[in-house]
Amino acid sequence: MTLQQIKHIIIGPPFPTSAELHERLDKARALAVFASDPISSNAYATEAIMSVLILLGSGALRLTMPIAIGIAALVIFVIFSYIQTILHYPGGGGAYTVTKDNLGTLPSLFAAAALLVDYTLTVSVSVSAGVRAMTSAFPELYDFRVVLALGAIVLLTWINLRGVRESGTIFALPTYAFVGGVLVIIGIGLARYTGLAGAPLEPHPVQVPPADTVTQFAFVWLLLRAFAAGCTALTGIEAISNGVQAFKPPESRNAAVTMVWMGVMAMALFMGISFLATQLAIVPEEGDSVLSQMTRLVAGNGVLYYWVQLFTMLILVLAANTGYQDFPRLSSFLANDGFLPRWL
């Protein structure tokens, strides 16, 4: 058996150019492919804020919600900015193309370099966070976390080599199952908080004493640091603007609509998780994520808990797909402009 035959067995035959439109994505699949990164970042964005605020003691965790509101306002601003980019640059390219046309070549290369590094880090961070979600539910798997992460990367690579449309179909289930599961948890939590249904919410029993001495400068610095940490909620928002040509016609309109859907879903999850985590006085822990603790306190250790943890793990792993989709696409723009080898 030749190497070419083995390649065809593993990843299938090459797609003909005539099938390119067939491989493009409708809005539902595109949302799963491109929005898995920003939507999945809600699994750890609130925790990122709280992990900084806890340095000031448990009492400072009440500041989580005001910081989350500020980040949500920033997300809305960024989304509307990218919608304008999509409508004015239907060929895609995102920040690189916009910067090149309006600020010049050198600034555009800085933007492109930052995005390429970001896509690479997205793969490592998302896969690692996904494995952590699994080990939160199944601590016995903790010692195998590296093997699990590497296996996830290999699987993602194979899925993408099979073709974009197939990957969009595969990624749709974890994305929508995660969103649905977390929205159910938020709904139950809000119902219990308002007294509409179920027993009142019981706050997390663990408390952390405040720091002995915190200067005004240190306090402001930690608030800014918490805001910056929570801006992980913005991760991957630019992916749709970079991948306009992956949409079915009319590309710009479909991409803009998908961007709005993504923003609504992501902010509903982010604000809901932040509110419940604050009301439950959850304290970030090394071996158990904030989302895991919140789900357990709201719904117990039943089927719903494992549902949320399973699909949190899957969507975080699949969020790495943003890098697989947009790293090659941005590289092709750079290659066409002569900044990378032409064969890219």
DSSP letters of 288-301?
S-HHHHHHHHHHTT
Residue 342 forms part of a structural domain: no
**Among candidates 46, 88, 61, which has minimal Cα distance to 266?**
46
The segment with the largest mean pLDDT, out of 120-134, 234-248, 255-269, is: 255-269
Q: What is the pLDDT of residue 211?
A: 60
CA distance 115 to 150: 23
Residue 3 forms part of a structural domain: no
Tell me the three state secondary structure of residue 247. Answer: strand
Q: What is the pLDDT of residue 10?
A: 64
Residue 279 forms part of a structural domain: yes
CATH number, residue 161? 1.20.1740.10
CA distance 210 to 183: 33
Residue 11 forms part of a structural domain: no
- Mean pLDDT is lowest, of 6-20, 100-114, 124-138, 296-310, for 6-20
Tokens representing residue 173 in the block: 């289930």
Number of domain units in the chain:
1
Residue 343 forms part of a structural domain: no
Taking 80 as the threshold, does the pLDDT of residue 93 lie above it? no
CA distance 297 to 248: 43
Residue 54 forms part of a structural domain: yes
- Domain of residue 228, residue span: 24-335
Residue 1 forms part of a structural domain: no
Tell me the three state secondary structure of residue 339. Answer: coil
| Confidence class for position 139, pLDDT limits 50, 70, 90 | confident
The segment with the largest mean pLDDT, out of 16-25, 57-66, 67-76, 126-135, is: 67-76
| Confidence class for position 282, pLDDT limits 50, 70, 90 | confident
309 in the Ramachandran plot: left (φ > 0), alpha (ψ -120 to 50) or beta? alpha
Residue 37 forms part of a structural domain: yes
Taking 70 as the threshold, does the pLDDT of residue 43 lie above it? yes
> What confidence tens digit (pLDDT) does each residue in 145-199 have?
889 999 988 888 887 776 655 556 666 888 899 999 999 999 999 998 887 776 6
Q: What percent of the chain has pLDDT over 90?
A: 29
Q: b/e for 175-191, b at 16 or more Cβ within 10 A?
A: bbbbbebbebbbebbbe
Q: Is 314 within 8 Å of 130 (Cβ atoms)?
A: yes
